A = this chain, B = another copy of it.
């Protein structure tokens, strides 16, 4: 009998308990032994709960209990989750978590502690919610050199963008609808500003390329400035706008890591990923493109991924799963996004369109002029060719006397 503890009884934590008892028989069969949830840590009271006798407010009840071999951390946030997880690992307990903020900021340190104590630290649910990503990435694609990962990693922003694209709902209204449906939180900034997707990019990059990528080295741009005009110009290029988290391996073994809204072609495998669905495209040198697709969040999907990690922890008590990466504080490991080669959609407001158009042509050479229904006469929208982003900035500032840039969105034509 392996005893388990669950730290945090919020949405995911209560889901973990629910999934465990619902499918306990098959879970135990797959783990190869009997399992029980002994303790649930939460500071709140749950008087009517069928698990009332398991609740504790004291972390020491879990830490000091050597019968508890596997701990689920679903409290969220970095503190005190980090300290609790660190102590559990040091005490010889394996830990499964869905806490992307914890993994993105403290992953290398916790993986090191896990290795030193011959226990496991697993976090499948931290990237795709219920979608299996990390294990396929590290195991099934083990024979590949990963070249690139592109993902729609945040359901809230994808829901908002889908509403904007399919129903011409404005950003503000779409956000409100998402909040009413429970897809967005009352303070939606972590989603719409891209921080959530950024954390997931950090985890994917760390796992795929073996060195920890911290959130502050990932250029991150949210979707708050996207307008219905941008959506219409994208349509003129047969594109949709999606918030894309992207990591790429460069030839000098440095990487790019970014999160930003981008034009992607209608034909892309990611273009049809709508509403709250997430998808991750992995490009390997042998396998080509593989896509993993599903609901990236939600109580039961996320909980089921956590429970799958618990099963793996139980199966591997005394042995180690080789999911790991090194710490890395080289400031040059993630290259400056301004050196990336991209194409750019640019929309400008101008008093003198012929002059601006001529100046843009002189700077950029041939550009593709974009149109949309009911565009005002003072708007000029175009798509540049591919060049380093810093160069695009230079050329745009060279024409700034003739107009003001009102929108600028990168175009990803290779996914």
- Residues of A142-197 whose CB lies within 8 A of B: 142-145
In the complex, whether A216 has a CB less than 8 A from a CB of chain B is: no
In the complex the two chains form, is A286's CB within 8 Å of B272's CB?
no
A90–B311 Cα distance when bound, in Å, is 29
Taking the closest CB of chain B, its distance from the CB of A25, in whole angstroms, is: 10
Contacting residue for A23 out of B136, B145, B272, CB 8 A? B145
A294–B138 Cα distance when bound, in Å, is 17
Chain B residues with CB below 8 A from A312, complex form: 139, 142
In the complex, whether A49 has a CB less than 8 A from a CB of chain B is: no
A130–B287 Cα distance when bound, in Å, is 6
In the complex, whether A131 has a CB less than 8 A from a CB of chain B is: yes
In the complex, whether A322 has a CB less than 8 A from a CB of chain B is: yes
Instruction: State whether A130 and B305 are in contact (beta carbons under 8 Å apart), knowing that A142-B27, A311-B142, A322-B315 are contacts in the complex.
Output: no
Taking the closest CB of chain B, its distance from the CB of A390, in whole angstroms, is: 32
In the complex the two chains form, is A322's CB within 8 Å of B132's CB?
no
A133: nearest chain-B partner, CB-CB: B140
A409–B124 Cα distance when bound, in Å, is 40
A135: nearest chain-B partner, CB-CB: B140
A273: nearest chain-B partner, CB-CB: B269
Instruction: State whether A130 and B301 are in contact (beta carbons under 8 Å apart), knowing that A272-B272, A307-B143, A322-B30 are contacts in the complex.
Output: no
Contacting residue for A304 out of B132, B144, B295, B304, CB 8 A? B144
Contacting residue for A143 out of B288, B311, B315, B322, CB 8 A? B311
In the complex the two chains form, is B141's CB within 8 Å of A286's CB?
no
A305–B312 Cα distance when bound, in Å, is 21
Chain A interface size, under 10 / 10 to 19 / 20 to 34 / 35 or more: 35 or more
In the complex, whether A46 has a CB less than 8 A from a CB of chain B is: no
In the complex, whether A303 has a CB less than 8 A from a CB of chain B is: yes
A290–B305 Cα distance when bound, in Å, is 12
Chain B residues with CB below 8 A from A305, complex form: 140, 143, 287
In the complex the two chains form, is B301's CB within 8 Å of A286's CB?
yes
Chain B residues with CB below 8 A from A307, complex form: 142-143, 286
Chain B residues with CB below 8 A from A284, complex form: 304
Taking the closest CB of chain B, its distance from the CB of A415, in whole angstroms, is: 13
In the complex, whether A32 has a CB less than 8 A from a CB of chain B is: yes
Give the interface centre of A136, A142, A290 by most chain B CB atoms within 10 Å.
Answer: A142
Starting from the known contacts A30-B322, A32-B322, A139-B312, 20 additional A-B residue pairs (CB-CB under 8 Å) come to: A15-B286, A19-B143, A22-B285, A23-B145, A23-B286, A30-B138, A130-B286, A130-B287, A135-B136, A143-B303, A143-B305, A143-B306, A143-B311, A144-B304, A269-B293, A286-B300, A288-B294, A288-B295, A290-B293, A291-B291
